[in-house]
Amino acid sequence: MTAIAHYSGSFVERDIFEPEHDAYRDSVRRFVETELQPHHAQWEKDGIVPRSAWLKAGEVGMLCPSVPEEYGGIGADFLYSVVMIEEITRANVTGPGFMVHSEMVAPYILAWGTEELKREWLPRMVTGEVIGALGMTEPGAGSDAKEMRTRADRDGEGYRINGQKTYISNGSQCDIVVLACKTDPAAGAKGVSLIAVAADQPGFERGRRLEKIGLKAQDTAELFFNDARAPLSHLLGSEGAGFGMLMTKLAQERLSIGIKGLAASEAALRWTVDYVQQRRLFGQALGDMQNTRFTLAQLCAEVSQGRVLVDWGIRRFMDGRLTATDASKIKLLTTELNGRVVDQCLQFFGGYGYMTEYPISQAYVDARISRIAGGANEVMRQLIARDLFRAH
């Protein structure tokens, strides 16, 4: 394989990309710099990214690149998704919920949806005409999918759904939700099923758009289901198999969060290295002071270590060998690292780092959710410990 040193903003040379991935990165980077970055500050104020941005992203192949050609995609490998995640993260464009749409929603439909469901929805997800959301978290369930209360009861030729979901990314704009619900409340985890619910159904209601400390441009909403309907053909896989599906795809979700967290750390470190060489203090550049150099050198070493781990995880995922425990380790380590990097880097910016117009400020508040999303890091530790003690 070929690699371009530092091409992706990494501090170590990478060897996982081919020339076609680098060409795709060029295209995505130009799009992000011309079509997303100039508008992102306004989207942060508006609390939402307009649908026009989704449609433009669809035109350049940024949405659901792994969807096969027969369903409207380009049938690309996972590295195309890696490039997309890294480039929007590198540019500090945290508003568009493309990762949720492409790497969390579409894979469920592609893997377990009926042929009818795939042909109806995937082509429009590729173009951006349809926006997808994943409905897992509930007010009383948090990261524990087994405790969810949303129910789906058989009713004639479909399901009647009642319940509530919260913290749903893309929630206020979504057209389809892959919804985790109980089809057999007495069966615990074995009673969880996944159903694709169209947002235009009677009984599907959107709550308020939630205000957050970070990711302000990424719309996040509550969703309510009051006798909402879904046809039997919208069941993913079989009834009661939902928990197993979630465990399978959560590995991809957690890897994607790790990819994003590591790219965010690399970007923050580069901004800081550039800044401390310009900032003068006590008659010398801040970057010439030993504390600055040693602190940033330590962060660079840790970020480089994280890069090796993440790229190892990407290879394992593409080979079909990334385990749930591996993904939990990657998510835990990269998001904890991201928190330390943005905190220490912001300190070097001094008062400027506290000003919202500086990218490091946005990166600081945006990084906090990564230790919660995709399963809180305490859950990651529990999963890793369970595997560790099982093995011994």
Q: Which residue's entry shows tokens 């800081």? A: 272
Q: Coil, helix or strand for 291?
A: helix
Give me the active site residues, please. Answer: 253
Q: Coil, helix or strand for 132?
A: strand
Kindly give, in sequence order, each residue whose CB lies less than 8 Å from that of residue 242, ignoring residues fewer than 6 positions away: 180, 181, 192, 193, 194, 236
CATH number assigned to the domain covering 244-391: 1.20.140.10
DSSP strands (E only) in 96-136: 132-135
Query: Domain segments of the chain: what residues?
Result: 19-127, 132-237, 244-391
Give yes or no on whether 132-237 and 244-391 have one common fold.
no
pTM, 2 dp: 0.93
Taking only the tens place, the pLDDT of each residue in 228-257 is 999 999 999 999 999 999 988 989 999 999
- Helix, strand, coil % over all residues of the chain, rounded to 5: 55, 15, 30
DSSP 191-259: GEEEEEEETTSTTEEEEEEPP-SS-TTS-EEEEEEEEEEEEGGGEESSTT-HHHHHHHHHHHHHHHHHH
Residue 47: CA count within 13 A, CB half-sphere: 10
Q: What confidence tier does 142 reach under pLDDT thresholds 50, 70, 90?
A: low
* Single-letter amino acid code for the residue at 290: Q
Give the domain 132-237 fold: Butyryl-CoA Dehydrogenase, subunit A; domain 2 (2.40.110)
Query: Computed from CA positions of residues 71, 75, 78, 82, in that sequence, does the dihedral angle turn out positive or negative?
Result: negative
Which residue from 71, 141, 152, 66 is spatially nearest to 104, judged by alpha carbons?
66
* CATH class entry, domain 19-127: mainly alpha
Q: What confidence tier does 75 reach under pLDDT thresholds 50, 70, 90?
A: very high
Residue 373: CA count within 13 A, CB half-sphere: 26
Taking only the tens place, the pLDDT of each residue in 332-381 is 999 999 999 999 999 999 999 999 989 999 999 999 999 999 999 999 99
